[in-house]
Amino acid sequence: MIPTEDADEIVTHGVDECPGCGGTDLEQTGLFRHQVTEIPPTRPQVTEHQVLSVRCRGCGACAAGELSADVARSQFGPRVHALVAHMTGGFRLTHRETARVLGEVFGLEIGVGSITALQRRVREALEAPFREAQRAIREGFAAFIDETSWRLRRRRAYLWAAHHGELVVYHVDRRRNRAAFRRLMAGKYHGVRIVDRYVVHDDVPDELRQLCLGHLLRDFEGYATGVAGRRMFGRRGKAILKRTFRAWWRFEDGLIDRAALQRECEEFEKQMKARLDEGAAHAHAKVRGFARKLRKHVACLFTFAKVRGIEPTSNPAERVLRPAVQWRKGSFGSHSEEGARFVSRILTVTRSLRLQGRDALEFLVAALDSRVHGHDPPSLLPAAVTAAA
């Protein structure tokens, strides 16, 4: 329950007379609190702006007033814009569902086509916070990176995500290559990347890459439960990774320090190299190819032991992609380049703010107000919140 002083109304239910003798000299001995929360009926607040035309009685010249820039830009205010963007991007409602909610809940009649126009203005207002987040991720020391399929104009595209700490950046691109990764980062990235084994990242030095051990564990599990001749290779690799995860969990629980973690991982790296050397001479071609490719980058399996602030899997990147996957299944992707940019901006803002525990709706309103009135846009960076506090 909220504090009593924050309640909008207090209704007291007392006793007028003693149920035993009927006396009225009563002393309070206790208090039971019960609160009922209700949402009052809502209706849009409509402001009519009247532009007056005048004629001078002296010379006959005519003139008319003008709407200010913030009024003339749209028939809907910043909070309507923010609400539409949050419902479509944050809660993944379709345009028709959004129009229906606005009509039934708020009494605001809006056409489906108008929603696209509101999204465009929100995208423009979020450009500066989005670029700021891109720079922060690009200049950071590490990032969890992943991508998933998307649709752009009914053709295959990809939604990329880069995540670290309380910040995540998204980017829709037609390509799944190194150029697309540079566009995600808005430039060349020099930090440590925690990724899967996709070839886009093969040009990165071993000390700047951590390969996802979760993906690798599933690969070894596939060999361990697959064709008979490959099972021993899979079981041995799987055993090394399980011991690696147990060492990481002990470190996370504070049972060992980083020096001990590094010593254990050095031993696991030697064991993995030995298993992969054996696999490189295996009778099965699939095992040979897998082992030879992984052997070249085996040091990337244990970067997490040396670099603070990262972990042995790319699970954080996969987690921030899941809402986007749900959105894709309901919307079938983006139907235009503008729509794809809206997806990138609104996902970046709403997911980052959620990680930071900040109010997305109020942030969107502030971003729209800043664009209309020429103020500095709100910052998406967690450090800005700390500094303001």
Helix then strand then coil, % of the chain, to nearest 5? 55, 10, 35
Binning pLDDT at 50, 70 and 90, where does residue 389 land?
Answer: very low
For the record, the structure tokens of 127 come out as 């450009």
How does pLDDT run across 192-222, given as a tens digit for each residue? 999 998 888 988 898 999 999 999 999 999 9
Task: Report the pLDDT value the prediction gives residue 72, as an integer from 0 to 100.
Answer: 61
Which helix (H) or strand (E) covers residue 149, if one does?
Answer: strand 142-152
Single-letter code of the amino acid located at 238: K
What is the token pair recorded at 250? 């002990």
Residue 233 — very low, low, confident or very high, per pLDDT cuts 50/70/90? very high
Asked if residue 355 lies in contact with residue 317, where contact means CB atoms within 8 angstroms, the answer is: no
User: β-strands 142-152, 62-64: how paired?
Assistant: unpaired
What confidence tens digit (pLDDT) does each residue in 27-52 have? 989 999 999 999 888 888 898 999 99
Supply the pLDDT for residue 332: 82
- Is 386's pLDDT higher than 60? no
- Residue 97 has a pLDDT of 94
Q: How many CB atoms lie within 10 A of CB 167?
A: 24
**CA dihedral defined by 57, 63, 67, 68, rounded to 10 degrees?**
-100
CB count within 10 Å of CB 1 equals: 9
pTM for the structure as a whole: 0.86
Higher per-residue confidence, 68 vs 107: 107
**Sequence spans of domains, the chain:** 213-305
What are 339-379's pLDDT values in tens digits?
999 999 999 999 999 999 999 999 999 999 988 888 899 99
